[in-house]
């Protein structure tokens, strides 16, 4: 079993995967007729959407060429294995930026379309897919289809957020946004309660393009809901180059998770108390602001050999405060969790994908070191709170939700399955989409 084709959470770990490598976008390796096929981007999904136990993975990183860049219009055409990091290096110094980016830049264009990822500016621009103009899709019937809002629109909508199950995206045309600098300017504000968080989120929506909060997942009683709220806009001045910093890496996997109740309690208290004033005005380069975890290579090893699961849910705004309170109460009682918590509100920009995750509401994302049954039963309890509030879980982060939870959360599921390529499948699909190979 190699580490090369696992997922970021290192849970579940799969062994029986045949791997072929895509190198030419006009001539992909032949699809496997006997086993389900699945494209693999850069494995930055946490759970099993990028895994294919018993099947064939088509490794996409070899499709890493830029095809065209219209500097006037801010449109880029590139192959699907290009990393967002490489796009930023190319377009940033020319005054352009990605309209939406997740919390790591080491992800491929195909991977972020297939999960229809979101960033801290979701309330303003929607998902990554909302800014994709077109892409090419290869299917097992031999077709190579151009998909956009006007050409093959159903397949366009099924593939954005389609979890790799509709075929292989070989190239994409992306809309960029203009910027004057690679820096962000904004504020970091302490909040003590969930009510304060929601008030900050509401007042920040218009003046700030980027908003997200860290929350102390072990806080309970009067301190439950405390955290730090970050809001920012692209700066008007400053270059694009990142200031020099030392490369950091997690050198090896420790025999046990370094994140436990004790270390978490100490870290969270210090992190919250470290900010002495209510508001701190800050200026960040885009790397530490948008991609803070990318500064430590292989940080996922910190959770030890059993790996970890990330749990990301969204609950509609009407119940967001009460559901978030219930989720945080359950988590702090369990003593499980990690310092890596993101809490934010999504806006109502409609996602183009049939299975896109965001909806208007509040989203909570946090890591849990995998501790077997005790972790899984906590997550089942969280599921019940989310389902009751009419929310859903994010497949890109998931390794264990039930088919029932998925179908209830994604009402367009029935429409989506009509577009699944019969020669494709994934570990996630077989677990969650009934009747899939």
Ligand X SMILES: Cc1cc2nc3c(=O)[nH]c(=O)nc-3n(C[C@H](O)[C@H](O)[C@H](O)COP(=O)(O)OP(=O)(O)OC[C@H]3O[C@@H](n4cnc5c(N)ncnc54)[C@H](O)[C@@H]3O)c2cc1C
Q: Which residues bind ligand X (CB under 6 A)?
A: 8, 38-45, 49-50, 60, 80, 102-104, 107-108, 110-112, 114-115, 117-119, 163-164, 168-169, 293, 396, 426
Least Å distance between CB 9 and ligand X? 9
Q: Which helix or strand (DSSP H or E) is residue 201 part of? A: helix 194-204
Least Å distance between CB 161 and ligand X? 10
Least Å distance between CB 168 and ligand X? 5
Least Å distance between CB 102 and ligand X? 3
Half-sphere exposure of 32 toward its Cβ, with a 13 Å CA cutoff?
Answer: 20
Q: Which helix or strand (DSSP H or E) is residue 321 part of? A: helix 320-334
Smaller CB separation from ligand X, 92 or 119: 119
Least Å distance between CB 222 and ligand X? 30
Least Å distance between CB 110 and ligand X? 2
Smaller CB separation from ligand X, 157 or 224: 157
Smaller CB separation from ligand X, 84 or 331: 84
Smaller CB separation from ligand X, 336 or 351: 351
- Residue 153 to residue 175: CA distance in whole angstroms: 18
Smaller CB separation from ligand X, 112 or 328: 112
Identify the bridge partners of residue 135 per DSSP, sorted by sequence position: 147, 172
Query: In sequence order, which residues have a C-beta less than 8 Å from that of residue 222 and are 6 or more positions away?
Result: none
- Residue 66 to residue 376: CA distance in whole angstroms: 42
Q: Which residues of 123-150 are buried (b: 16+ CB within 10 A; e: fewer)?
A: bbbbbbbbbbebbbbbbbeeeebebeee
Smaller CB separation from ligand X, 46 or 224: 46
Least Å distance between CB 236 and ligand X? 25
Could you tell me the CA-to-CA distances from 110 to 83, 195, 362 in Å, in that order? 9, 38, 26
Smaller CB separation from ligand X, 110 or 186: 110
Give the end-to-end CA distance of the chain in Å, rounded to a whole number. 22
Smaller CB separation from ligand X, 45 or 375: 45
Long-range contacts from 428-437, C-beta under 8 angstroms, 24+ separation: 428/47, 428/48, 428/49, 428/51, 428/163, 428/395, 428/398, 429/163, 429/165, 431/48, 431/403, 432/395, 432/401, 432/402, 432/403, 432/406, 433/165, 433/403, 433/406, 434/403, 436/165, 437/36
Smaller CB separation from ligand X, 192 or 360: 360
Least Å distance between CB 172 and ligand X? 9
Least Å distance between CB 30 and ligand X? 16
3-state SS of the chain: helix, strand, coil percent to 5? 30, 25, 45
Using DSSP bridges, classify how beta strands 96-97 and 177-178 pair: parallel, antiparallel or unpaired.
antiparallel
Residue located via tokens 């109740």: 261
Smaller CB separation from ligand X, 168 or 331: 168
- Residue 381 to residue 33: CA distance in whole angstroms: 40
Least Å distance between CB 277 and ligand X? 27
Surface-to-core class of residue 322, CB atoms within 10 Å of its CB (0-12 exposed, 13-18 middle, 19+ buried): middle
Token pair in block for residue 80: 């699907």
């Amino acid at each position: 079993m190699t580490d090369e084709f696992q997922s970021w959470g290192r849970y579940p770990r799969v062994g029986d995967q045949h791997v072929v490598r895509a190198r030419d976008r006009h001539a992909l390796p032949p699809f496997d007729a006997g086993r389900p096929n699945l494209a693999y981007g850069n494995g930055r999904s946490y759970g099993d959407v990028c895994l294919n136990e018993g099947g064939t993975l088509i490794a996409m990183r070899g499709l890493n060429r830029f095809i065209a860049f219209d500097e006037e219009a801010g449109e880029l055409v590139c192959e699907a294995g290009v990393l967002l990091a490489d796009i930023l290096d190319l377009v940033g110094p020319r005054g352009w930026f990605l309209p939406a980016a997740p919390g790591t830049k080491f992800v491929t264009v195909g991977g972020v379309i297939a999960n229809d990822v979101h960033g801290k500016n979701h309330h303003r621009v929607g998902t990554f897919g909302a800014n994709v103009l077109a892409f090419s899709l290869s299917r097992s019937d031999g077709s190579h289809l151009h998909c956009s809002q006007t050409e093959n629109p159903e397949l366009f909508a099924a593939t954005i957020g389609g979890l790799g199950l509709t075929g292989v995206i070989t190239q994409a045309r992306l809309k960029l946004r203009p910027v004057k600098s690679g820096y962000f300017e904004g504020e970091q504000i302490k909040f003590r309660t969930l009510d304060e968080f929601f008030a900050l989120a509401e007042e920040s929506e218009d003046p700030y393009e980027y908003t997200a909060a860290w929350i102390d997942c072990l806080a309970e009683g009067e301190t439950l809901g405390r955290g730090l709220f970050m809001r920012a806009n692209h700066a008007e001045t400053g270059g694009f180059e990142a200031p020099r910093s030392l490369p950091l890496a997690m050198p090896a996997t420790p025999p046990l998770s370094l994140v436990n109740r004790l270390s978490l309690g100490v870290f969270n208290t210090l992190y919250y108390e470290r900010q002495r004033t209510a508001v701190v005005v800050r200026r960040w380069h885009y790397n530490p602001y948008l991609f803070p975890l990318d500064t430590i290579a292989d940080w996922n090893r910190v959770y030890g050999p059993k790996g970890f699961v990330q749990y990301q849910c969204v609950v509609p705004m009407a119940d967001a405060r009460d559901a978030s309170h219930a989720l945080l109460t359950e988590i702090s009682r369990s003593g499980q969790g990690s310092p890596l918590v993101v809490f934010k509100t999504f806006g109502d920009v409609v996602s183009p994908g049939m299975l896109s995750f965001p909806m208007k509401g509040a989203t909570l994302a946090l890591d849990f070191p995998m501790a077997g049954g005790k972790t899984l039963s906590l997550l089942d309890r969280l599921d019940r709170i989310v389902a009751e509030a009419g929310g859903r879980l994010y497949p890109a982060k998931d390794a264990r939700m039930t088919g029932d939870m998925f179908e209830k959360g994604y009402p367009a599921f029935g429409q989506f399955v009509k577009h699944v390529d019969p020669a494709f499948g994934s570990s996630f699909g077989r677990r969650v989409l009934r009747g899939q190979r």
